A = this chain, B = another copy of it.
Amino acid sequence: MTVLEPSALAHVPFVSVANMMRLVNDVGVEAVITELADYIEADFRRWPEFDKIARVASHSHDGVIELMPVADAEYYGFKYVNGHPKNTREGFQTVTAFGVFASVGNGYPLLFTEMTLLTALRTAATSALVGRYLAPPNAKTMAMIGNGAQCEFQALAFRALCGIENVRLYDIDPDATEKATANLKTAGLNVTACQTAEAAVEGAQIITTCTADKQYATILNDNMVGAGIHINAIGGDCPGKTELHKDILTRSEIFVEYPPQTRIEGEIQQLEEDHPVTELWQVMTGDTAGRTDETQITLFDSVGFAIEDFSALRYLLDKTKGTDYAEMLDLLADPDDPRDLYGMLQRAGAGAPA
């Protein structure tokens, strides 16, 4: 039985994990994050142009599977992403992801890609981009509570975009802290491994929380957060999963991606539905103020929004076009006569050209 060569229209460029790693290592982690931040910022600044919905979530006992679509007039992107906190205990990733970028004009996919790594990179890029608008000027020290898969990407992003030099790490699992300490020391950051969350936040101008348990947790208590701090809250990202004590929220100026989604998934699910929040895209266009004084506590209640993935896919398309970072995948049936799908099948069966 001959397997026939598909035509060019049948091919969709595919970026595998191995090729994503090769691309990121060739360009450099911090350079990729910096470039991603530029794409994200550009897309946030044209926010009203996007056709947006809150992500489509399928919840089960052990986790969630989500689809995150968004489109502008030219491109359509979506990401598949799961979140299963129990997975690491069984040797699987908590979060895995892949995504597709497509043409709005004809509906054909333009790019299919792994997005586990790309999500870590775009999440870090978004956090640090937001940090550039909200963190106290000349912040040099960041506390990181939760030292899992996101930790190093966040640290490097804040170095690249905000000038962070020192990171103070804490995790309930000392092995995680040890892993992150080794990685970040090699990357040239000043790292302090701490025994408690209280110790980690000492002297930090920025606090990043990125823990994974699917529950209402209190990673930060009110007395741990002093005046002038910027909090980058990454881990609370689905209903029933939060990281901050409610009292911190009421003392903070809260910044969010897409309110309809954050009200359901973010830290602010603990607050009244009409609690005031600021939309980040309006800070980036200059329509709204970001940090207004040095005593203010600013909180990025991050849940991750589809436009960030759209920006990452748009970046990846530009970066891989015409390169060997993408392989060609025989994904789309493409008969010579578009109406003759059946004939294509028959000709393939006869071993003749499709």
Residues on A facing B (Cβ under 8 Å): 1, 3-4, 6, 9-10, 14, 16-22, 24-26, 29, 51, 53, 56, 58, 60, 62-65, 67, 69, 71, 73, 76, 78, 80, 82-84, 86-88, 90-94, 96, 98, 100, 102, 104-109, 114, 116-117, 120, 147-153, 176, 179, 183, 186, 329-335, 337-346, 348-349, 354
The docked-state distance in angstroms from the alpha carbon of A233 to that of B93 is 44
Residues of B within 8 A of A108 (CB): 82, 92, 96
Closest chain B CB from A244 CB (angstroms): 22
Residue in chain B with minimal CB distance to A86: B106
Q: Which residues of B contact A69 (CB under 8 A)?
A: 56, 58, 65, 67
Query: What are some 8 contacts across the A-B interface (CB < 8 A)?
Result: A17-B333, A20-B333, A25-B348, A29-B345, A62-B106, A65-B107, A148-B339, A149-B338
Contact pick for A76, options B20, B65, B92, B100, CB 8 Å: B65
- With beta carbons under 8 angstroms apart, the residue of B73, B116, B179 that contacts A339 is B179
B62 touches A67 (CB 8 A): no
A333 and B6 contact, CB distance less than 8 A: no
Give every chain B residue within 8 A of A340 (Cβ-Cβ).
149, 179, 183
Given the complex, which residues of B lie within 8 Å of A53, measured CB to CB? 56
Minimal beta-carbon separation of A251 from chain B (angstroms): 31
B329 lies within 8 A of A16 (CB) = yes
Q: Contact check, A105 vs B342: say whether CB atoms are below 8 A apart.
A: no
| Contact in complex: A73, B60 (CB < 8 Å) | yes
Q: By the criterion CB–CB under 8 Å, are A116 and B17 in contact?
A: no
Complex Cα distance A57/B84, Å? 27
Instruction: Output the least CB separation between A187 and chain B (Å).
Output: 9
For the complex of A and B, 5 pairs with smallest distance between CB atoms: A82-B107, A25-B349, A152-B342, A116-B333, A16-B330
Q: Which of A25, A114, A341 has the most CB of B within 10 A?
A: A341
Q: How distant is A124 from chain B, measured CB to nearest CB, in Å?
A: 10
Bound complex: CA A10 to CA B16 (Å)? 10
Shortest beta-carbon distance, A151 to chain B, in Å?
8
Query: Once the chains are docked, how many angstroms separate the CA of A51 from the CA of B88?
Result: 26
**Contact status B105-A62, CB under 8 Å:** yes
Residue numbers in B under 8 Å from A56 (CB-CB): 53, 56, 67, 69
Smallest CB gap from A349: residue in B: B25
User: A291 to chain B: closest CB distance in Å?
Assistant: 29
Tell me the nearest residue of chain B to A104, going by C-beta: B60
Q: Which residues of B contact A24 (CB under 8 A)?
A: 345
User: In the complex, A334→B105 CA distance in Å?
Assistant: 35
Task: Kindly identify which residue among B64, B96, B107, B329 contacts A87, using a CB–CB cutoff of 8 Å.
Answer: B107
A345 in contact with B21 given A102-B82, A330-B16 (CB within 8 Å): yes
* Chain B residue with Cβ nearest A87: B106
Q: Which residues of B lie under 8 Å from residue A22 when comparing CB positions? A: 1, 3, 348
CA distance A175 to B270 in the complex (A): 63
Of all chain B residues, the one with the shortest Cβ separation from A16 is: B330
- What are the residues of chain B within 8 A of A6 when measuring CB–CB? 16-18
Given the complex of chains A and B, what is the CA–CA distance between A63 and B105 in angstroms?
7
Taking CB atoms, residues of chain B closer than 8 Å to A183 are 340, 342-343, 346
Which residue of chain B has the shortest Cβ distance to A102 in the bound complex? B65
Chain B residue with minimal CB distance to A344?
Answer: B21
Residues of B contacting A64 with CB < 8 Å?
A: 107
